[in-house]
Amino acid sequence: MNIHLITIGQKMPDWVETGFAEYAKRLPDCCALNLIELPMPQRSKNQSVDQLKRKEAALIEKTIPKGALVIALDEYGQEVSTVGLSRKLEQWLEGGQDVALLVGGPDGLDGALLQKARWTWSLSKLTFPHPLVRIIVAEQLYRAWSVLNHHPYHRS
């Protein structure tokens, strides 16, 4: 199983790339984490938020691997504990299909992508900058894997 973190936004600062890479490399091949960065569509005063979100959704749709389980990250999604996320990861591993984690642009994901998602995940009620979300997701997936494998990284 591969986990594909599909995000809108490119050219992140070095600290973001370093942080993401640190946790992604810790994950074993059975749940490898791949980052897919998509360009943010050009913004203009003449475009509505809905139009921009539809453009982003079209880019995201093209990169979702065929047959992948779609998970949307959204502020209105379900919050889970670390143990709860480890249970989700366990289900994903047992299912054997790739997982696509979707992160939209500054205005969030288009409704069509939210409808397509099998689960909608909220990292927190707090608002995080998009670059930091990549690191948080990678770290939390590694922590969830640690729980499943009784690794000392997570001490609950």
Residues tagged in the binding site annotation for S-adenosyl-L-methionine: 73, 104, 123-128
The rounded mean pLDDT for the chain is 94
Mean pLDDT, range 20-34, rounded to an integer:
96
Question: Which is it for the CA torsion 149, 73, 133, 103, positive or negative?
Answer: positive
pLDDT attached to residue 154: 61
pLDDT, tens digit, for every residue of 75-121?
999 999 999 999 999 999 999 999 999 999 989 999 999 999 999 99
Mean pLDDT, range 16-35, rounded to an integer:
96
Q: Is residue 156 scored above 60 in pLDDT? A: no
Alpha-carbon distance values, 17 to 3, 10, 25, 58, 67 (Å): 17, 11, 12, 25, 28
Strands 99-103 and 2-8 come out as parallel
Radius of gyration of the chain from its Cα atoms, rounded to whole angstroms: 15
Residues tagged in the binding site annotation: 73, 104, 123-128
Domains along the chain?
2-149 (3.40.1280.10)
Q: Which residue has the higher pLDDT, 46 or 72?
A: 72
Taking each helix axis from N to C terminus, what angle separates 130-148 and 82-95, rounded to the nearest 10 degrees? 80
Q: Of how many residues is the chain composed? A: 156
